[in-house]
Amino acid sequence: MGECHGRAGEDSIFFGDREIKHQKIGAADEISEGLLTNSVNGILGFGPAITSRNFNTGKEIWKTPMDHLLEKGEIEHNLFSVYFDNVDNDDEFGNANGQLTLGGLPARETYEGEIQWVPRYEESLYKYYWAVKSEGIKVNDRRIAGDLRGIVDTGTTMTFLTPEFGKRVIAAMKIVKFDQEDRLYYVDCAKTSDLPTLTFILDGGIELSLKPEQYVIPPWQASYWRVKETQCPLYISTDAVDDFDFVLGQKFLEYHVAAHDADNKRIVEDPLDNDPLVDEFKDEWYPLLCDAHCHAHDDTQRLDDISTLRTGQITLMGVRLDDWDTVVKVAGESHGVVPCFGIHPWYTYRLLDDDKDSAHHYQHVLTGPDDQEKQQLISELPPPILFSTWFGQLEQHLRQHPSALVGEVGLDRSARLLPSGAIEWHGVKPTRVSCTIDHQCKILEHQLRLAIDLDRAVSLHCVQSQGHLLTLLHTLNNNGKPGRICLHSFGGKPASLAQFLKFRHLQVYVSFSVAINARLGWAKLGELIRTVPDDRLLIESDLNSPKDLDLAMVRMACLVARAKQWSLHDAILNTRRNWLSFTGRSET
């Protein structure tokens, strides 16, 4: 780091044989010590063009070399990519090469998988940098959440984390020590393999990981860092860097190529952001769209709009006893609405598993780190609902509506109760009290067995509970009846999905929505869609309003078509055929 002083001027610069005339440059008269070494004569910056106004007294925004190349037609896109060759041994230390690509992505052989685009963050001082937002870091499977803003900087070696957040990450790594004199975190080299994998969660849920050997300085570099050979420092620092929450530097970029898109023109289209297939959709295909899971009736101000939806079929999920009547009303007034009744895991704490010991029910099924908070919440809750009441009403609704499904039901270990047991969660801070997973499993089992007895399909919600759900589904005895379940808006891993698909006593369908699954990023979502057998794939909106539901269904159909390499029309027909099979309906 450092600064320089001098004069502004113009000169020709060359990229190979390509000349850029009249390029604005700064000619330094004074340079702070350490800014340039003997082998470096200058700096060619590739920051956002607006940064240039900080380096001239007139506060002008100068054209960058990229701007000139674009004007001359030498490149088609204001995009550049950086690839660093990683350094594996002492022989490579002074000879490692990288690659700077102007106007496009780096060579395909330099990276695996697909490019995942992260939105550039441009608020305040961040507009002068290639800045992004982050949702935190996972230390193995433990998530250290944060609302962070930082930069991707090829000129920085280390990965910097703001002190408050960084020390939480370091603490979760457990075996890391701190050298106060050198201000370096380090680990005993023999224990490097015991360190966790660090996964950086960037805006949009994009996850980029570093294994221990990728963020630990190897023993052969000890002499460069002036540490003992038995001490291996980390390429991670919690020293504050300006006002940034984090800086992803060179050592991070050795394992993740960086493509900087200056004007948001995407070479690699991100279909989650802008899918050209949407323009190919024909109006006559709307009646063929089947929404496998939605809550459009939650928007009570737009109930009448449900009957005007162009999507052919919507599967309308009831989640509590007090919204089932609305489901019935909407289904009776709107063609193509399939009613569904169930108790969502967020509300299972209200239900008795049997009609015994109702006085102590909440004490048994609620848990939290602060007993005072728990007792205060319990004092504000209404009496629990008897098993005979809620289960009796569920069975009655299903028998009165022979086409109805069971849903939305399931398990959710992440859910927290709202103050006073409120239902409307928008803008409300949840408590730290939750319903035990054991109680959720008991309530879900009752609903699953009823669905099997009545030959009804089930729409399942599962968050941080896949192991419990797998165990429960294993225990179901269908008496020869093939139960039908749908894992709605599934966001787990392909390996987990494969475990569900192995069941022989259950027909397992899988559904995806833009509303929920877009958070995964296209690379992960596309892989998940491809993992689902062609005859078990469904699409849904998972919206709580009829507003934008039709468009959400079109977009999800396009993503399925892209992932499966089907035509858009075939994607619509195939998911419709699967929906008919899942719900037990015929083509007519």
Higher pLDDT, residue 70 or 472? 472
User: Cα 396 to the chain's mean position, in Å?
Assistant: 39
pLDDT band (50, 70, 90) for residue 268? very low
Q: What is the pLDDT of residue 95?
A: 62
Q: What is the pLDDT of residue 538?
A: 98
Average pLDDT, the chain: 87
pLDDT band (50, 70, 90) for residue 1? low
Structural element, H or E, at residue 225: helix 222-225
Report the alpha-carbon distance of residue 374 to residue 386 in Å, rounded: 21
Q: Confirm if 576 and 569 have CB atoms less than 8 A apart.
A: no
- Three-class SS of 34-96: CCCCCCCCCCCCCCCHHHHHHHCCCCCCCCCHHHHHHHCCCCCCCEEEEEECCCCCHHHCCCC
389-410: average pLDDT: 97
pLDDT band (50, 70, 90) for residue 390? very high
Cis peptide, bond prior to residue 408, ω within 30 of zero: yes
Burial (Cβ within 10 Å: 0-12, 13-18, ≥19) of residue 495 = exposed
Domain ranges across the chain:
75-261, 296-538+545-583
Would you call 392 helix, strand, or coil by DSSP?
helix
Closest CA to 237 of 229, 228, 246: 246
Q: Confirm if 327 and 316 have CB atoms less than 8 A apart.
A: yes
Residue 304 amino acid letter: D
* The pairing of beta strand 4-15 with beta strand 18-31: antiparallel
Q: What is the pLDDT of residue 34?
A: 63
Higher pLDDT, residue 207 or 433? 433
Residue range 499-525, pLDDT digits in tens: 999 998 999 999 999 989 987 877 788
Q: What is the pLDDT of residue 7?
A: 85
| Token pair listed for 424 | 């409307």
| Token pair listed for 565 | 């390499």
pLDDT band (50, 70, 90) for residue 91? low
Residue whose tokens read 């078509």: 561
Q: What is the pLDDT of residue 54?
A: 75
DSSP classification of residue 545: S
Q: What is the pLDDT of residue 267?
A: 30
Check whether 195 has a pLDDT greater than 90. yes
Q: Confirm if 232 and 136 have CB atoms less than 8 A apart.
A: no
Report the alpha-carbon distance of residue 228 to residue 222 in Å, rounded: 6
pLDDT band (50, 70, 90) for residue 426? low
Check whether 2 has a pLDDT greater than 90. no
**Is domain 296-538+545-583 in CATH 3.20.20.140, yes or no?**
yes
- Residue 152 to residues 158, 253, 314: CA-CA distances in angstroms? 11, 9, 43
Q: What is the pLDDT of residue 37?
A: 62
- CATH architecture of the domain with residue range 75-261: Beta Barrel (2.40)
Closest CA to 294 of 305, 278, 279, 283: 305
What percentage of the chain reaches a pLDDT higher than 70?
91
Report the alpha-carbon distance of residue 316 to residue 218 in Å, rounded: 57
Q: Confirm if 453 and 393 have CB atoms less than 8 A apart.
A: no
Report the alpha-carbon distance of residue 116 to residue 207 in Å, rounded: 9
Beta bridge partners of residue 132, listed in sequence order: 150
Higher pLDDT, residue 227 or 34? 227
Closest CA to 153 of 45, 49, 77, 79: 45
Quote the strand ranges of 413-520, DSSP E: 434-435, 458-463, 483-487, 506-512
Q: What is the pLDDT of residue 83?
A: 79
Q: What is the pLDDT of residue 361?
A: 94
Closest CA to 83 of 317, 229, 258: 258
Dihedral sign, Cα of residue 582, residue 398, residue 458, residue 299 = positive
pTM: 0.59
Residue whose tokens read 């099979």: 581
Check whether 46 has a pLDDT greater than 50. yes
Q: What is the pLDDT of residue 269?
A: 42
Residue range 545-568, pLDDT digits in tens: 999 999 999 999 999 998 998 999
Other Cβ atoms less than 10 A from the Cβ of 35: the count is 13
Check whether 111 has a pLDDT greater than 70. no
Report the alpha-carbon distance of residue 517 to residue 493 in Å, rounded: 12
Q: CB under 8 Å to 479, separation ≥6 — which residues?
A: 452
